[in-house]
Structure 1
Amino acid sequence: MRIYITADMEGVTGLVDADDVQPGGRDYERGRLMMAEDVNAAVRGAVAAGATEVTVNDAHGPMRNLVPEALHPAARLLRGKPKQMLMLEGLGPEHDAVICVGYHARAGELGVLSHSFMGHEIEDMWLDGRPVGEIGLAQATAAALGVPVVVLTGDDRACAEMTAWDDSVTTVAVKYARDRFAAGLRPSDEARTAIEEAVASRLAAPLPAPSPTPEPAALTVRWQSASVASTLLGIPGVTSTDARTVQARGALPGLYRLFGVWMRVAASLTNQQPYC
C-alpha cells in the first residue's frame, strides 16, 4: 500500500499565529517541530495499517518547513520549491490514498489562520461555482488522479469544510477555532494519538473509489488586486468575469497546475505578507 501525505502547517496541533508558521517568526522553529510530530503520527498510523511506502510532501509556504531528521524513518520527503503540482507534488495514480495533515479553512471562513493559498491576495475561489479552498481543490485534484483523500487533520472549521466537500473523509480536529488567531487546543499527545488511530483505522478499511469532477471544470479566482487579474488575461484560455476575477476551464489535474502558474504571476506582482 502506497500512501501520500500532503502536509500544511496552519492546521497543525498547537499553532495559532503567523509567528508560529512563517520563517523568521518568533515561534517558527517550535512550529516546524510540531508539524513534524503531526506528520509522524500520520506516518505511524499508515505503517500500522500496512503501508509499504509513505511519501510526505512539505506543502506549506517555502516548502522547507519539515526538518528531515525529525521525520519518521518510513517517510520519504519531498522538500523545496518550485513544485509544478504545489501541495500535491509527486501524487500519482500509483498511490492508494491521500492524507491531508495540518490543513486549514478557506479564505473568508473564521478558521485558524484561514486563507486560500496566498494569504489575503486571493479573496475567493470557486470550482464549478462551488466555493473552494485548498481542501476542496486538493480533494478534487486527487480524485482526478484516481486517488481518494481518506483522512484530514486540522482545526474544527477545516474538518467541517472537508466533510461538506466529501463526507467520506475521516477528519481529526486537533484544535477548535475561537477566532482567526485563537483556538482551544487539544493536548498534544491526545491530538497525535487521535491522528495515528484515525489513519490506521481508515486505511485498514476498504478505500473508497473517488468521484472525479466532470470535465471540463471551471476554476474561478477573485484576487485582491485588479493588476493580477489583468496580467493573467495574457495567458491563453484565461477570461475575466469582472476586473478582479478570472476563470479558466479544463480538466484536473491540469487546471490545478495552471493555478500554480497564476500564483507565481501574482507573487511576482505583489510583495505583501499573508495574514495581514
Structure 2
Amino acid sequence: MKVYVSADMEGVTGLVDAEDVQPPGRDYERSRVLMTEDVNAAVRGAYAAGATAVLVNDAHGPMRNLLPDLLDPRARLIKGRPKPMGMMEGLTAEYDAALCVGFHARAGVLGVLSHSFMGHEIEDIWLDDRVTGEIGLLQAAAAAYGVPVALLTGDDAACDEMKAWDPAVATVPVKFAKDRFAAQLVPVAEAQAAIEAATTEALGDLTAPASGGGLRTLAVRWQSASVVSHLTAIPGVSRRDDRTVVVEGEMLQLYRLFNLFLRVCTAVTSNPPYC
C-alpha cells in the first residue's frame, strides 16, 4: 500500500498564530518540530496499517518547513517550491490513499488561521458553484486520480469542512477554534497518539472516491482587480466581474492552472501597499 501525505502547518497541534507558522516568527522554529511530529504520527500509523511506501509533501508557505533529520526515515520528502501541483505535488494514481495533516478551514470561516491559499489575497473560491478552499480542491483533485482522502487533521472547523466534502474521511481535531487566532488545544501527546491511531484505522477501511472525471468549473475572487487583469491573458480564463475569474476544464488541469494563478498573483501583488 502506497500512502501520500500533504502536510500543511496552520492545523498542526498547538499552533494558533502567524508567529507560529511564518518565518521568522518567534515560535516558528519550535512549530517546525511540532509539524514534523504530527507528520511522523501519521507515518507511524500508515506503516502500522501495512504501508509499503509513504511520500510526504511539505505543502505550507515556503514549503521548507518539515525537518528532514527529525522525519521518520521510512518516509520520503518533497521539499521546496515552486511545484507545478503545489500542495499535492507527487500524488499520482499509483497511491492507495492520501492523508491531509495540519490543514485549516477556508477563507471566511471562523477557524484557526483560516484562509484560502494566500491569506487576504483570495476572498473566495468556487468549484462548480460550491464555495471551497484548500480542503475541497485537494479532495476533488485526489478523486480525479482515483485516490481517496483517508484522513485529515486540523482544528474542528477544518474537520467539519472535510466531512462536508466527503463524510467517509476520518478526521482528528487537534484543537478547537475560539477565534481565528485562539483555540483550546488538545495536549500534544494525546493529539499525536490520536493521529497515529486514526491513520491506522482509516487505512484499514478505505472507501473509493466518487468519480472525479468530466469538466469542472473553477471561479476565484481576488482582493485585487489587477490580478484579474493579468489572469485573463491566459487562454480559457474569463472575467466574471472586476475581481473574479472563471475557467472550465478537467479537475487535474484546473488544479495545476490554479497553482499558476497563485504565482501570477504573487508577482502582481509583490509591491508593498502604498497606504
Quick check: 1:132 aligned with 2:126?
A: no
| Cα distance in 1 between the residues matched to 2:271 and 2:21 | 16
1:24–1:272 CA distance, 2 compared to 1 (3 A)? farther
1:193 CA drift (Å): 0.4
Partner Cα separation in structure 2 for residue 72 and residue 268 of structure 1: 36
CA–CA separation in structure 2 for the residues paired with 1:140 and 1:109: 20
**Within the alignment, does 1:60 sit opposite 2:60 as a pair?**
yes
Q: What letter corresponds to residue 113 of structure 1 in structure 2? A: L
Kindly tell me the number of residue pairs found equivalent between the two proteins. Answer: 272
> 2:117 and 2:222 mapped to 1: Cα distance?
12
Cα drift, residue 212 of structure 1 = 2.9
Q: SS at the partner of 2:152? A: strand
Displacement, 1:272?
7.6
Counterpart in the other structure of 1:141: 141
Counterpart-to-counterpart distance in 1, 2:23 and 2:100: 22
Task: Tell me what 2:103 maps to.
Answer: 103
C-alpha displacement at 1:252, in angstroms? 1.3
Q: After superposition, where does 1:3-14 map in structure 2 within 5 Å?
A: 3-14=3-14
* Alignment match, 1:249: 248
Q: Secondary structure at the match of 1:63?
A: coil
Q: 1:47, CA displacement in angstroms?
A: 0.5
- Structure 2 counterpart of 1:191: 191
Contact 2:8-2:58 at 8 Å conserved across structures:
yes
Report the AA paired with residue 209 of structure 1. Answer: A
Superposition RMSD in Å: 1.0
Deviations 1:16-55 (A, max 9, x none): 0001000100000011110001000000000100101000
Gaps of 5+ in 1: none
User: Match of 1:68, SS?
Assistant: coil
SS in 1 for 2:11: coil
**Corresponding residue SS for 2:107:** coil
- What residue in structure 2 maps to residue 15 of structure 1? 15
TM-score, reference length from structure 1: 0.97
Q: Does 1:219 align with 2:223?
A: no
TM-score (norm 2): 0.97
Q: CA deviation at 1:244?
A: 0.1
Deviations 1:57-113 (A, max 9, x none): 000000000010010111100001110000000000000000000000000000000
Task: Quote the Cα distance in structure 2 between the aligned partners of 1:184 and 1:125.
Answer: 28
Q: Which runs of 4+ in 1 moved over 3 A?
A: none
Q: Which residue of 2 aligns with 1:270?
A: 269
- The residue correspondences of 1:25-174 to structure 2 (distance < 5 A) are 25-174=25-174
Please give the secondary structure, in 2, of the residue aligned with 1:124.
strand
The 8 Å contact of residues 140 and 212 in structure 1, kept in 2 or not, is answered as: no
CA distance in 2: counterparts of 1:3 and 1:201, whole angstroms? 14
Residue 199 (structure 1) shift: 0.2
Provide the C-alpha distance between the structure 2 equivalents of 1:212 and 1:40, rounded to a whole number of angstroms: 30
Unaligned runs of 5+ in 2: none
Q: Counterpart in 1 of 2:236?
A: 237
Aligned-pair identity in percent equals: 64
Assess if the C-alpha contact under 8 Å between 2:144 and 2:213 holds in 1: no
Q: Distance in 2 between matches of 1:186 and 1:123?
A: 30
Contact 2:84 2:259 in 1 (8 A): yes
Query: Any idea what SS the aligned residue of 2:251 has?
Result: coil
Which residue of structure 2 aligns with residue 180 of structure 1?
A: 180
In structure 2, what residue type is equivalent to 1:154? Answer: G
